[in-house]
Amino acid sequence: MGTGIYGIGVSALRAAQAGIAATSHNIANVNTPGYSRQEIIQTAEQPQNTGAGYFGQGADVTTVLRRYDQFLGAQVLEAQTQSSNLNSRYELSQQLSNLFGDSSGGLTPTLQDFFNNVNGVANAPESVAARQGMIGSAQSLVNRLQALDQRMTQIRDGLNGQIQNSVASVNSYAKQIASLNENIVQLQSQSPGQPPNDLLDQRDQLINQLSQEIRVSTVKQPDGSVDVFIGNGQSLVVGNRTSTLQAVSSTTDPTALEVAYLNNGNLSRIQQSALQGGNLGGYLSFRQNELDPAQNALGRIALGLADTFNQQHQQGMDLKGALGGAFFSSGVPRVTSSTSNVGDGVLASTITSTTALTGHDYSVQFDGALYNVYDTSNNTLMQSFTSAQLAAGQTLTGTGITLQLTPGMVANVAGDSFLVRPTVAGGGSIALSITDPNKIAAASPIRSNTSSGNVGTGVIAAATVVPGLPLDANLQQPITITFDNPPTTYTVTGTGAPAGPQVYTAGAAITINGWTTQISGTPVAGDVFTVAANTNATTDGTNILKLAQLQTTNTMVNGTASYQGAYGQLISQVGTQTRELEVTSKAQTSMLAQVTRSFQAVSGVNLDEEAANLLKYQQAYQAAAKAMSIANNMFDTLLQLGG
């Protein structure tokens, strides 16, 4: 408190000096991340009653405050966590978009080249060179499918590394925040009511950086500390104590990392739905919404191609007269038991229809009474089975797969689960089963013939193998069809022939021994038609033509798309998702910039304003010094008068 003119001048000098110090501190930290502008709070001293009125006793600097808006700060945190989430998803999604959208490195050119070579064999079935070209292009197609799948596996591995790094960053920020909490509490207890502004800024900056990794909520405590919470309310920082996050392998998918919460030695996994913000939430969302569906879709194409091409190829005959074998080999559904299962039962899955495959994954969860099957893409309950039903094997409706449980020595208990991924391994597991060009089954294994001695106008169509069935053991056994008198019926002779006369209907299907044909026209009594093994068929391209037709046949997605059509859907799906992420990411970045500007308008350092403040406090300092000089002169005059 100032006493007299001299004391008032001293208080003015100190106030101006404090103002200059605060302003200089602002200027020095203009580029310091997270720094909030500080200003002194100056009040007038209590006046003194002199009898002639109350005279002021100078000024006092009560504290230094930082300009910080809690509401705007919370908006920045939310905008930051959303922006980081979308940016990380977009950057990762771009990798998928570039992978499938590459006109030279995608699947389209190799698929087209393969069927060009299939047509080459159809044009010259006897040509070994054409057959070798088909084998080479088939291997290139397999290599491309494997390469695309391998690239997605690499993205998945890189994603696991990013998850680990993000978790490490979260733990590091948490420790630093806890340390600052301890320092802030200590300083405020030593000087109640005097905030340690720079430490508060440092803590808020760390919380902002933490929000870039994961969505957080904060609660300020009376002692000045801040508690930080994540997920579904799990405490990350409480005072000067921290909990720890860990990146752990999924219990049902060894290729995926999950986030677990470690508190007092207890480890609990955090549901992905609770981790939607920040880079960490972006990584997990990308894996679930972009990467897994893309790899599943590619696998579905590979499985569908292998299955439908094999089915038709096995209905043909190769250059040496042997029945066709599998042209491609492919994998089986990937089924994993949860590592936390109590029971040791084993669940298996088989594909019954590649056309019906959905590209979705399924979680089988035992509740103690039923095995409930959920579609993981939307967590929808699909079907429920008893233990006995599942042990007998069950078809999962609308999915193209079956499920069967082999009970173990220890029964499953409530909470045990399995993950079924029917198509994820399809792209990486497809392989070429034929390397010998002679084994390409270009010809039909059977041949129909009209006897040269026939008198009527009856004509028999080319016999074809009945599709979708295992080859009949009697497929190539000779069959003779002889028309009776009157020729309204005919008699079939040979191994596997139906007994008794058969009624003739022109154009009606005649199906025997796994093949089918039709006779049209008007046969007469005694006319003979035969179906037998197709011998000396090196120039026959009946089956290779059917293989070539598969290029444009809708064998995928429940019969609504061809191979190329299914791949086009994959490209469109990835491209659309990437474009949506680009738009929303840019919009969120713009929103972050907007709320940051609003926050900086309150808390940021404006050099023009600080320069004006410097001038103001400089003038105040000079005036205070002048007042003290006058007081000193007055005192000297009094001394001279007294002398």
pLDDT (tens digit, 9 = 90+) per residue, 44-92?
A: 888 887 777 888 788 888 999 999 999 999 999 999 999 999 999 999 9
Q: What percent of the chain has pLDDT over 90?
A: 86
**Tens-digit pLDDT profile for residues 422-461:** 999 999 999 999 999 999 999 999 999 999 999 999 999 9
Q: What is residue 465's predicted lDDT score, i.e. its pLDDT? A: 94
Token pair recorded at residue 330:
């492919």
- Let me know how many helices (H) and strands (E) the chain has, helices first: 12, 30
Q: What is the pLDDT of residue 272?
A: 87
Report how far residue 427's alpha carbon sits from residue 297's, in angstroms, rounded to the nearest whole number. Answer: 9
Instruction: Single out the residue of 431, 421, 455 nearest to residue 527, CA to CA.
Output: 455
What is the pTM (predicted TM-score) of this model?
A: 0.90
Q: How far apart are CA 562 and CA 580, in angstroms?
A: 27
Identify the pLDDT of residue 621: 86
Q: How far, in Å, are 69, 471, 477, 620 from residue 325 at the CA level?
A: 74, 11, 19, 99
Contact 353, 468 (CB under 8 A): no
Q: Residue 81: which of 379, 285, 377 has the closest Cα?
A: 285
Query: 283 and 301 in contact (C-beta within 8 Å)?
Result: no
What is the average per-residue pLDDT within 265-277?
88
> Residue 66: which H helix or E strand, with range?
strand 59-66
- Give the number of other CB atoms < 10 A from CB of residue 131: 25
Give, to the nearest 10 degrees, the angle between helix 292-313 and helix 563-603: 180
Asked if residue 15 lies in contact with residue 40, where contact means CB atoms within 8 angstroms, the answer is yes
Residue 6 CB partners (closer than 8 Å, separation 6+): 628, 631, 632, 635
Alpha-carbon gap, residue 216 to 226, rounded angstroms = 12
pLDDT confidence tier of residue 8, bands split at 50, 70 and 90: confident
pLDDT tier, 3 (very low <50, low <70, confident <90, very high otherwise): low
Tell me the one-letter amino acid at 458.
G
- Tell whether the model's pLDDT for residue 639 goes beyond 80: no
Of 280, 258, 254, 297, residue with least CA distance to 99: 297
List, for residues 17-53, the tens digit of each pLDDT value: 999 999 999 999 999 999 999 999 998 888 887 777 8
Q: Tokens 């044009």 map to which residue?
A: 123
Average pLDDT over residues 282-306: 97
Mark out the alpha helices in 69-127 (DSSP H runs). Answer: 70-101, 108-123
CA-to-CA separations, 377 to 292, 293, 337, 344, in angstroms, rounded: 10, 9, 19, 27
Q: Which of 507, 539, 544, 538 is nearest to 522 (CA)?
A: 507
pLDDT of residue 341: 95
Give the mean pLDDT of 235-248.
95
Distance of CA 206 to CAs 30, 140, 144, 573, Å?
Answer: 18, 51, 46, 38
Give the whole-angstrom CA distance, residue 461 versus residue 517: 6
pLDDT at 486: 94
Burial tier of 567 (Cβ tally within 10 Å: 0-12, 13-18, 19+): buried
Tokens of residue 579, six digits? 């474009």
